[in-house]
Amino acid sequence: MLGYIGATSLRPRLVHPVLLAVLRPVSKFLAVLVGRGFRKWWQALPRHKKEVFRNHLRRNIVRYAVGCGLMGTAGFVYYNNHVTTAPYTGRRRFMAFNSQQQLSISNQLYQVVMEEYADHMLCKDHPMVDCVRRVGNRLLQANNTMPEMYTRVWTVSVVDNSLMNCFVLPTGDIVMFTGMMEVLDNDDQVAAVLAHEMSHTILEHVAEHLSQNYLLDLVILFPVALIWAVLPNDLLAALSHWLLNRVVELFLRLPYSRTLESEADHLGLRLAAKACYDVREFSAFWGKMAVLEKVKKMNGQETEVPFWLSTHPSNEDRQKEMDKQMPEAIDLRQFCKCPSLSLRDPREPIKRLQQSVTEQHNQTSLKGTPLKEGSTASSSS
């Protein structure tokens, strides 16, 4: 059952959180320092001494190649020994942290959150807290055959903040913001948000994401050092270093983050289906979020971000993906002997609203006048 966490419930720090935050930039700085130091040293060497080192390298090229091969083999063995299979999805992934380390990371995150929002927690009798607890308990009870559901203590905190956000820490601590609750129309949509965030916890996505960043940081240390060692001046090295970081971000980090979000969407839909919620509200929720986002962009309150620069799939893409998975989710509800869904499909009003907003956008684009955010409310009523 879900418990309540108030403003004074703090847990001891197992590892100082500054440690993990410092190691990554320090290792990158050392790679730059080593590479640049080698370049300066090499450029200052007399020509005859450079030739001595070149001859030494030619004579011992096999030894150095064997050494590099052994290091590569050791790295592969380390990587292979830390590859696990994600529960319920079967995806293979690299996990560098064991259960104790994950617990330490979770407690650090929990401590930071509680300290930041300690003065803004709603009381345990508040209707929003009761709603989150009620929906969370129903999700837990319906999925109690999953070991990840009963091996942690789940708690609820609701923060009085206009931020439209919700997250669940790896320890099972649910943190909901009133800004998100005000957007949700019913328990089914609350379940859509909670099930998604709980899926991140069940699938250990926090530890996986940290592991992936840790692995990428290790892999690019040598290219970074090489860039600063080989390129003739600091300007070229800095530009190449920046380009390397952008390539890694665009082609590795961001796509991986979007994969984790999509995976949590998929499992979350199944959790809610087994709890007999109206799974069509998942699609309706993302459609509504897409409308809100579009209105803000048209009013200049938000800037357009290309999907390939985002950590999350777009709201429209998530809506479409939910619709694709809907037949499977509805079949799962029927298998669990859930009550029949209402004849009124909650997706239809959202689709009409999206069409209306698009038409208004086209009209106002011709007139050059901004769309009023209140128009979405009148369209939905």
The predicted-structure confidence for 124-142, as pLDDT tens digits, reads as follows 999 999 999 999 999 999 9
Answer yes or no: do 173 and 322 share one domain. no
Whether 294 and 379 have beta carbons less than 8 Å apart is answered as no
What pLDDT is attached to residue 107?
82
Residue 377, pLDDT score: 39
Question: 158 has which bridge partners?
Answer: 176
Q: Are 234 and 246 contained in the same domain?
A: yes
Distance separating alpha carbons of residues 340 and 269, to the nearest angstrom = 17
Give the end of a domain, one of 277, 309, 343: 277
Contact 115, 10 (CB under 8 A): yes
What's the domain range around 339? 279-381
Please check whether residues 369 and 232 belong to one and the same domain. Answer: no
Same domain, 143 and 238: yes
Mean pLDDT by groups of 10 residues along the chain of 381 residues: 53 45 81 96 94 95 96 94 94 87 79 88 95 97 93 92 92 94 97 97 92 91 96 97 97 97 98 98 97 88 84 96 98 97 96 91 65 45 34
Residue that is last in its domain, among 261, 277, 293: 277
Cβ atoms of 131 and 190 within 8 Å: the answer is yes
DSSP string, 159-216: E------EEE-TTSEEEEEHHHHTT--SHHHHHHHHHHHHHHHHTTHHHHHHHHHHHH
pLDDT at 17: 44
Q: What's the domain count of the chain?
A: 2
Q: What is the pLDDT of residue 14?
A: 38
Asked if 226 and 335 sit in the same domain, the reply is no
Domain co-membership, 213 together with 349: no
Beta bridge partners of 121: 159
Q: Which of 258, 260, 268 is nearest to 332 (CA)?
A: 268
Do 211 and 316 have their domain in common? no
Which of 257, 277, 297 lies at the terminal end of a domain, its last residue?
277
pLDDT of residue 4: 58
Same domain, 26 and 66: yes
pTM metric for this prediction: 0.87
**Among all residues, which ones are annotated catalytic?**
197
Judgement on whether residues 159 and 234 belong to the same structural domain of the protein: yes
15 and 140 part of one domain: yes
Q: Are residues 271 and 283 in the same domain?
A: no
Task: Give the pLDDT of residue 24.
Answer: 77
Res 368: pLDDT: 56
The Cα 54–Cα 281 span in angstroms is 68
* Domain shared by 155 and 197, yes or no: yes
Read off the tokens for 69. Answer: 């091969």
